[in-house]
Amino acid sequence: MEAELNASLGYEKNQKGDAPTSNKRNGHSPKTLKSQYGEFQTDVPRDREGESEPKLIPKYQRDISGIEEKVVSLYARGMGTRGIHDQIQELYGIELCPEMVSKITDRILPEIKEWQSRPLNPVYPFVFMDCIHYKAREEWRILSRAAYIVLGIILRQKAIKIS
């Protein structure tokens, strides 16, 4: 939201200089936002003339349920709860406690379990395998570990329409 105000005013915080506008920053307003997992508060930057129209969280909008999808997306890419907390704070200025991040990410665990236990095809015509080796600390020792990735491709037959 700070970046949106920077773009709207034409200058960054504490660097007015030769800005093409007479409009100035005017502090922050607290805003209580609602999501599927509870309420939390954020500070929304203001301008004196009220010209700035935030796109991230528009004026008068209180429900930001879409933020959960962003949290889940970051989690799916391997980011931890503290990292997600820091990223959301940095990008959106929204203070999500790590416990709230955990509640959001816990909702996809059943989907992950379902995907992991899905039935596989008996035959895959194409199989790609890869492995990455990394070092891990276990019980005061550093051990070499491997993570394997296997991708199976299936063939689909096109239906032929006979007229």
Residue 131 scores a pLDDT above 70: yes
Kindly report, residue by residue over 8-49, the tens digit of the pLDDT: 777 777 776 566 667 777 677 787 777 766 677 777 777 777
pTM: 0.41
Average pLDDT over residues 131-158: 89
Given pLDDT bands bounded at 50, 70 and 90, which one contains residue 162? confident
Name the pLDDT band for 51 (thresholds 50, 70, 90): confident
State the maximum Cα–Cα separation within the chain, in Å, rounded to a whole number.
75
Long-range (24+ apart) CB contacts under 8 A made by 73-80 are: 75/101, 75/104, 75/105, 75/108, 76/108
SS3 content of the chain, % helix, strand, coil (to 5): 30, 30, 40
Confidence at 81, pLDDT banded by 50, 70, 90: confident
